[in-house]
Amino acid sequence: MTKLIAALILVIALYGGWHLFLYWDKIKHEEETAQKQAAASVLVPEQLPGLPQALELTLQTAQKQGATGLKGWLKMYGQNVQDPRKAWIELDYCVLVAREAPTEAKRVFASVKERTPPSSPVWPRLKQLEKSCE
């Protein structure tokens, strides 16, 4: 009888250990998936579609010149750039010009917000800047 009880306890311990291992593996897999999703959600503005490769160098030059350079670049090349990259560039301009000309920043921000759908990759940044630019 004691051998039967010992065998039963051993089977229950192995069964519980196996389920504990499965639970641990599931949690580990969920954490890895969450880390991969977080790494994939890091947005690199240079990788957004909508900017012709030929204009990349001119944009970098304009960004180095600050708000005035970016404003001139948007006037000159803005019609050749598509969203979501155009929206990102205009939000950069809003951030740069917000202290000098808040009405200009509000106008550009409202324009970007009006044409940007919630499914856009720019939407989280738009929401982040909403309080400071509206």
Mean pLDDT of 101-119: 87
- What's the confidence (pLDDT) of residue 25? 92
**Does residue 40 register a pLDDT over 60?**
no
Give φ, ψ of 52 to 5 degrees.
Answer: -60, 140
| pTM across the whole model | 0.67
Q: How far is CA 119 from CA 45, 91, 110, 116, in A?
A: 16, 17, 17, 8
- DSSP 3-state percent helix, strand, coil across the chain (nearest 5): 80, 0, 20
Mean pLDDT of 23-31: 90
